[in-house]
Amino acid sequence: MRLNSHPSGRHFLQIPGPTNVPDRVLRAMDHPTIDHRGPEFNALAKKILRSVRQVFQTKQPVIIYPASGTGAWEAALVNTLSPGDQVLMWETGHFASLWKKMADKLGIKSEFMGGDWRKPADPAAIEKRLKEDTGHAIKAVCIVHNETSTGVVSDISAVRRAIDAAKHPALLLVDTISSLGSIDYRHDAWGVDVTVAGSQKGLMLPPGLSFNAVSEKAVAASKSSKMIKAFWGWDEMLASNANGWFPYTPATNLLYGLNEACDMLLEEGLGAVFARHTRHAEATRAAVTGWGLEILCSDPKAYSGSLTAIVMPEGHDADAFRKVALENFNLSLGQGLTKVAGKVFRIGHLGDFNDLMLMGTLSGVEMALGLAKVPHKTGGAQAALTYLRDTAPGARRD
């Protein structure tokens, strides 16, 4: 019999999204659905459309779709491009590969650079490639900010500088699905044209909403874009949103949740939210190092604040190990995807999360490593405990 066939207590959902939905957000959504053409909804929508901009660190419009992140990827491409346009994409991992596959399906000519799933996008290589494109055939550069399959963060402001240094007019499209609300991200300051995001990670909501933050340049590009679009078209969304309405039935109860989630992030302060994620990521890496295991990301400057991908020792299957963690400790860990399937597991440490939730997670991982007979040193969880204790707000620093 499975030990945990009737688990009590909370499930530990430590995949890198969907993340744990906080009680405040759950309660906010537990509300009768209202008329989306009535005054109560109008007030809610006006507030959300304002506050969500602060989370993207933008003064530009943020479009909200009742869709998963994949929909917002498509919206970014079909609103800014025309069939046959060239785009430059960087292969950071599984999600960058899926975005490229989508571009190809849409009839966009995508060029993939990179391909090392352990490293971030290289701004110098992007600058060089754009300088070669003297005819400006490349219409957009597409980067995944935090590659969820690997835990590698690319430097978006450096990519912006690379585009500017090449004096190239390409748009900059960025996927922040697993970084928004977890890792510092600035749509305006970094000159991003379209930011793609989703509800189910740093925004602490269930899956079902996704976003496009759009620059003036992106909106201008949308006026001449010739890709076929209807549902994803920004024009009707922007026109309706300007007065606090949506052109079709919005996901009303998820919007109640979004309102609460934005309040929570802004009450804590974005700087504090990012610092909390950085600290938990640091503690997680202290545990991994203590176990003697290897972090997939090979560039410490690119370590992710929202998840850590860990390489399994040779001859051990990551999915068999994850099964042990789930069945014994009611702990869900992220699986390795495509190229790294079975070879890595991922710990999500993002969203509504605190020190003791992290310690529960890391203790579960350490116990499961032992049960699954994965070669490791004990004491990783202790290393994380020590780090958290020494960096706690009340720790004496003398």
**Which residues would be at the binding site for ligand PLP (CB under 6 A)?**
17, 68-70, 95, 144, 148, 175, 177-178, 198, 207
- Give the Cα separation of 266 and 54 in Å (integer): 8
Rounded to an integer, what distance in angstroms lies between the CA atom of residue 42 and that of residue 242? 11
Contacts of 40 (CB under 8 A, 6+ apart): 34
Q: Where are the alpha helices (DSSP H) in the chain?
A: 23-29, 39-56, 69-80, 94-105, 123-132, 156-165, 216-224, 234-241, 252-268, 270-291, 318-329, 355-371, 380-390
Question: What is each CA distance from 84 to 7, 108, 109, 131, 226, in whole angstroms?
Answer: 53, 5, 6, 21, 10
Query: In the numeric block, which tokens belong to residue 340?
Result: 């790294």
Structure-token pair, residue 17 = 């999204």
Q: For ligand PLP, which is the closer residue by CB, 147 or 366?
A: 147
Quick one: 146 or 215, whose CB is closer to ligand PLP?
146
DSSP 3-state of 122: coil
| Shortest Å, Cβ 180 to ligand PLP | 10
| DSSP character string of 205-216 | --S--EEEEE-H
* Least distance in angstroms from the C-beta of 36 to ligand PLP: 23
Q: How far apart are CA 151 and CA 9, in angstroms?
A: 29
Min. distance of Cβ 220 from ligand PLP in angstroms? 26
Q: Closest CB to ligand PLP among 148 and 308?
A: 148
The distance of closest approach from Cβ of residue 73 to ligand PLP in the complex, given in angstroms and rounded to an integer, is 6
| Closer residue to ligand PLP (CB): 44 or 62 | 62
| Smallest separation (angstroms) from ligand PLP to the CB of 126 | 19
When the beta carbons of 98 and 388 are compared against ligand PLP, the nearer one is 98
Least CB distance to ligand PLP at residue 343 (A):
18
CA nearest to 52, candidates 176, 222, 221, 229: 176
CB of 344 to ligand PLP, least distance (A): 15
Which tokens in the block code for residue 263? 């309040």
Tell me the closest approach of the beta carbon of residue 314 to ligand PLP, in angstroms: 27
Residue 182 or 284: the one with the smaller Cβ distance to ligand PLP is: 182
Which of residues 16 and 380 has its CB atom nearest to ligand PLP in the complex? 16
* 3-class secondary-structure state, position 394: coil
Toward ligand PLP, which CB reaches closer, 69 or 290? 69
**Measuring CA to CA, which residue among 347, 316, 353 is closest to residue 331?**
347
Residue nearest ligand PLP (C-beta atom):
69
